[in-house]
Copies of this chain bind each other. A is one copy, B any other.
Amino acid sequence: MTGYEIKKNIDSTLHFFWSGSFGSIYPTLSALEKNGYVTKQDVSGNKREKYKYFITQTGKDFLTDWLSDPSAKDELRYETLLKLFFSGSLGKEKTAQRIDAFEAKIRAELPFLEMCEANLAKAGDNPDHVNYLLTVRFGIETYNGYLRWCEGAKKLLEER
């Protein structure tokens, strides 16, 4: 893929749990090429400049090693919750409004994930599809957990 295509792919398929900017993607691709993990190929033709990157055997070996290592760093920095944690002084009403806004955001994003799930459930022969489907379902289950929380949270605020 090209750097631009990689960015597009991250933003669509991975965006639930990963992100990356051009400012990190292009320098990383250059570094990968310098280390022999990928090769760069000019596919501009007579059009504007455009370079596709291809993984090398060295790159594949390195990737396999990385995938084989089960250790993984999962980072969350959830400012929404940080604010909620310290918002006791804000009052119930405002807190409830925050929760509504959060709920709306989640509900707006769910259909996209469900569409991805439906598409991946159909095309099931490629072994990679199973993994794609698993990550999509992770997003769906997490979001459903969020929604359950919203429901309970609003109930709690009413009671107190």
Contact = CB atoms under 8 A, between A and B. Distances in A.
B141 A149 contact: yes
A74 B83 contact: no
Number of copies: 2
A131 B75 contact: no
A128 B135 CA distance: 36
Contacts of A68: 90, 94
Interface of A: 13-14, 16-19, 63-64, 66-68, 70, 72-90, 94-95, 97-98, 101, 124, 126-135, 137-138, 141-146, 148-149, 152-153, 156-157, 160
B87 A67 contact: yes
A160 B130 contact: yes
Given A145-B144, A153-B137, A160-B124, A79 B83 contact: no
